[in-house]
């Protein structure tokens, strides 16, 4: 039996990765300014958004789930660094929780709970 909390966390991770990527793809001004302040040119920020969306989508397929989790984990680490550099320390602390959550799909016990969910 699947645990609803595990499925909910998994769905939130997928949506978080895709949503944060979309904010870059649509060039949301606040998001672009945040990354520009950290030295990212617009093209790199948009490419980073593509990675975030791809990582989120890769989580949906069992064969690519671990790769997607790795991509998501890497992008969350970079995004957390960008937030740290910007001086948003409260949001930086929250982003650390996203990093921890991004490791969950790499855990075999978590994987067993979500197999066949999507």
Mean of per-residue pLDDT scores for the chain: 89
Residue 98: what pLDDT?
Answer: 87
Compute the average pLDDT of residues 105-110: 79
Q: For the segment 28-79, what is each residue's pLDDT rounded down to a tens digit?
A: 999 999 999 999 999 999 999 999 999 999 999 889 999 999 999 999 999 9
Compute the average pLDDT of residues 9-34: 94
Q: What is the dihedral of CA 66, 109, 96, 117, to 10 degrees?
A: 60
CA distance 32 to 26: 10
CA distance 9 to 111: 12
pTM of the shown model: 0.86
Burial of 115 (0-12, 13-18, 19+ CB in 10 A): exposed
Residue 2: what pLDDT?
Answer: 63
Residue 116: what pLDDT?
Answer: 59
| Cβ atoms of 45 and 32 closer than 8 Å | yes
The number of folded domains in the chain is 1
Q: Does 104 have pLDDT greater than 90? A: no
Residue 77: what pLDDT?
Answer: 95
* Residue (of 110, 82, 102) closest to 17 by Cα position: 102
| Cβ atoms of 51 and 110 closer than 8 Å | no
Q: Does 115 have pLDDT greater than 90? A: no
Expressed as residue numbers, the domain containing 65 is 4-114
| Cβ atoms of 53 and 22 closer than 8 Å | yes
């Amino acid at each position: 039996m699947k645990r609803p909390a595990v499925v909910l966390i998994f769905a939130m991770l997928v949506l978080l990765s895709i949503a944060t990527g979309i904010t870059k793809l649509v060039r949301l001004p606040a998001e672009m300014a945040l990354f520009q302040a950290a030295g990212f040119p617009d093209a790199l920020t948009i490419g980073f958004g593509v990675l975030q969306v791809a990582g989120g989508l890769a989580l949906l397929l069992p064969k690519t789930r671990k790769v997607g989790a790795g991509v998501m984990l890497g992008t969350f680490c970079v995004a957390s660094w960008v937030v740290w550099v910007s001086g948003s320390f409260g949001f930086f602390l929250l982003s650390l929780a996203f990093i921890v959550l991004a490791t969950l799909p790499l855990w075999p016990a978590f994987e067993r709970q979500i197999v066949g969910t999507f």
